[in-house]
């Protein structure tokens, strides 16, 4: 019993160190790549250090689903590669301990990591995404910090365009100043020109004071009733004048994060289930609503016999296709169910209004023995009626498709909450047997193998998500595609490592083919 405990401690110590190191190294590398994407939103905004630190912190939590599986894979290869390289695995197996029993302490550790992965996906990451999304919006919309350069108009202050010819080293004394004050809809009708001046910011950097010397102020009298007859204007020369400019537009403002809470990336499992259920009800209600508005005005017992005449071949085809669709729809939605609190959008009201107008029309079937004088008018009215119905159907279809796309996004996110935890377990059962087979520790071969395997796993994940959102595969199959693919490899590698078989030994594939041929001959 004491030996088993010492072995457990040895395995835990061998795994824990590489796992912690690889997790934070992976997180740091992913963070660098992630921040590079938003570097343009962070630089030149005059952000406080704690704002940048907050942004980095939320981004780090956001990247846990990438760093955690890679850390599990790499550390498991390194840990059991080290044990194999120093013949510690051989000693354990010589003592009668199988590889499956050697993995026993790792089961507890991996299940703990998987539990943390699910907790992160369900609790930490949605909260971090909510705060990060609101912060990113505020950072992206913040105007650049106040920094007037020589010879360039500074236009980031609303209502002002400021240009200076020269700025001294003290960053306050300025020369050759031009200020356009645009405080009306009629353009730049207020201009100030000065030879020199002093530029000062208040302690809270909310007010800019410009003390100008030896200047002229030009102002057009646009508010006078007879301005356009003689274009009156004022010219005022001054020795000294102070202009105070409000800089609150340049300050960093925080948006309420509750405005972003409906995004699928910012919800936990329960919230996602509720949202998916609501979207399904909206989709079904929209289909049922369209059916209830349109189907009463169709003769579903019509066929393509010569009893009816259609001059427009395309319209005829659309007409019969629509009737076929409605027959199928009628079977699916024999009972209309929708509530006013779900469908109260302006589009729904317009659809209802159009339906009322259509009800006033007579349902006319054009027969060959109809009065020739009325046939053209009746036929034209029928075409117009059919086009209106077709427009209603197409509009409803587009709205349903939008809701369907949203539903798929929420479903994909829901499955990803669980797939991260399962992937950590499976990647361990790939990494640990792989390390035991190759018997190489450190950052050499383990690093190469783990990176290649992780890239394959990550690529399959991305492909699966796209297949799910494109409705090529069911959401469950598409999101769990990477797990379904790596599961057989995990079982195969664990089996090979437990049997002490060399995976890449010379002649392995030839022996396997010979065994397969021999089995076929025996059969």
Residue 432 domain-assigned (yes or no): no
Write the CA distances from 250 to 184, 338, 342, 391, integer angstroms: 21, 48, 41, 48
Domain that holds residue 357: 266-410
Model pLDDT, residue 24: 92
Model pLDDT, residue 441: 63
CB-based burial label for 63 (10 Å; 0-12, 13-18, 19+): buried
Residue 11 domain-assigned (yes or no): no
Note the pLDDT tens digit of each residue in 430-484.
Answer: 888 888 887 776 666 667 777 788 888 888 888 988 888 888 888 888 888 888 8
Residue 226 domain-assigned (yes or no): yes
* Average pLDDT estimate for 333-350: 42
Residue 315 domain-assigned (yes or no): yes
Helix axes 104-119, 375-438, angle to 10 degrees: 150
**Furthest C-alpha separation in the chain:** 112
376, 410, 444 — which closes off a domain? 410
Residue 438 domain-assigned (yes or no): no
250, 279, 312 — which closes off a domain? 250
Residue 124 domain-assigned (yes or no): no
Residue 283 shares a structural domain with residue 352: yes
Whose CA is closest to 114, among 63, 291, 246, 122? 122
Note the pLDDT tens digit of each residue in 370-423.
Answer: 555 556 766 777 777 778 778 877 888 888 888 888 888 898 889 888 988 898
Residue 232 shares a structural domain with residue 306: no
Q: Do the strands 233-246 and 207-220 form a parallel or antiparallel pair, or are they unpaired?
A: antiparallel
Residue 520 domain-assigned (yes or no): no
Residue 276 shares a structural domain with residue 394: yes
Note the pLDDT tens digit of each residue in 300-332.
Answer: 555 544 444 444 444 444 444 444 544 454 454
Residue 234 shares a structural domain with residue 277: no
DSSP letter (8 states) at residue 298: S
Domains held by the chain: number: 2
Task: Give me the percent of the chain exceeding a pLDDT of 90.
Answer: 3
> Residue 180, Cβ neighbours under 10 Å: how many?
17
Model pLDDT, residue 23: 92
- Nearest-5° Cα angle at 120, 119 to 124: 105
Predicted TM-score (pTM) of the model is 0.66
Model pLDDT, residue 511: 58
Residue 226 shares a structural domain with residue 353: no
Residue 217 shares a structural domain with residue 285: no
Model pLDDT, residue 515: 65
Model pLDDT, residue 435: 82
Residue 74 domain-assigned (yes or no): no
Note the pLDDT tens digit of each residue in 175-203.
Answer: 888 888 876 555 567 888 888 888 887 77
358, 389, 410 — which closes off a domain? 410
Residue 211 shares a structural domain with residue 293: no
Q: Is the pLDDT score of 131 beyond 60?
A: yes
Residues in CB range of 387: below 8 A, 6 or more apart: 315
């Amino acid at each position: 019993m004491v030996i088993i405990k010492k072995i457990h401690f040895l395995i835990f110590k061998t795994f824990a160190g590489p796992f912690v190191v690889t997790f934070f190294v992976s997180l740091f590398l992913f963070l660098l790549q992630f921040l590079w994407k938003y570097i343009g939103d962070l630089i030149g905004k005059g952000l406080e250090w704690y704002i940048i630190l907050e942004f980095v912190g939320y981004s780090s939590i956001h990247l846990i689903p990438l760093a955690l599986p890679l850390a599990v894979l790499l550390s498991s290869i390194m840990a059991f590669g080290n044990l194999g390289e120093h013949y510690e695995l051989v000693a354990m197996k010589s003592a009668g301990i199988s590889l499956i029993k050697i993995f026993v302490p790792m089961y507890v550790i991996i299940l703990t990591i998987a539990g943390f992965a699910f907790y992160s996906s369900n609790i930490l990451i949605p909260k971090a995404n909510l705060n990060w999304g609101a912060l990113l919006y505020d950072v992206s919309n913040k105007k650049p910090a106040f920094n007037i350069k020589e010879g360039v108009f500074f236009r980031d202050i609303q209502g002002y365009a400021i240009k200076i010819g020269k700025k001294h080293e003290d960053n306050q004394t300025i020369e050759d100043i031009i200020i356009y004050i645009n405080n009306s809809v009629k353009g730049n009708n207020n201009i100030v020109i000065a030879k020199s001046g002093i530029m000062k910011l208040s302690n809270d950097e909310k007010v800019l004071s410009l003390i100008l010397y030896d200047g002229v102020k030009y102002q057009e009298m646009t508010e006078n009733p007879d301005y356009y007859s003689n274009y009156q204007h004022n010219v005022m020369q001054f020795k000294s004048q102070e202009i105070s400019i409000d800089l609150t537009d340049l300050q960093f403002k925080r948006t309420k994060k509750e405005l972003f809470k409906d995004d699928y990336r910012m919800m936990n499992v329960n919230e996602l289930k509720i949202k998916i259920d609501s979207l399904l009800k909206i989709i079904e209600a929209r289909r049922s609503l369209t059916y209830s508005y349109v189907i009463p005005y169709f003769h579903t017992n019509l066929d393509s016999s010569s009893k009816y005449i259609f001059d427009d071949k395309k319209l005829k085809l659309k007409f019969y296709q629509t009737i076929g669709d409605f027959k199928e729809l009628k079977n699916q939605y024999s009972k209309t169910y929708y509530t006013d609190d779900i469908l109260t959008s302006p589009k729904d009201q317009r659809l209802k209004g159009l339906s009322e107008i259509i009800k006033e029309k007579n349902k006319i079937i054009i027969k060959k023995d109809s009065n020739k004088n009325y046939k053209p008018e009746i036929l034209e009215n029928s075409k117009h009626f059919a086009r209106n119905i077709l427009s209603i159907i197409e509009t409803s279809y587009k709205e349903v498709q939008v809701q369907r796309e949203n539903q798929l996004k929420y479903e994909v996110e829901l499955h990803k909450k669980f797939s991260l935890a399962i992937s950590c377990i499976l990647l361990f059962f790939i990494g640990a047997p792989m390390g035991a087979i190759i018997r190489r520790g450190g950052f050499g071969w383990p690093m190469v193998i783990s990176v290649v395997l992780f890239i394959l796993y990550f690529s399959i994940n991305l492909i699966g998500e796209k297949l799910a959102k494109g409705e090529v595969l069911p959401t469950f199959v598409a999101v769990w595609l990477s797990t379904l693919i790596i599961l057989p490899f995990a079982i195969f590698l664990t089996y090979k490592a437990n049997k002490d078989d060399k995976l890449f030994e010379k002649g392995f594939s030839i022996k396997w083919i010979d065994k397969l041929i021999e089995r076929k001959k025996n059969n």
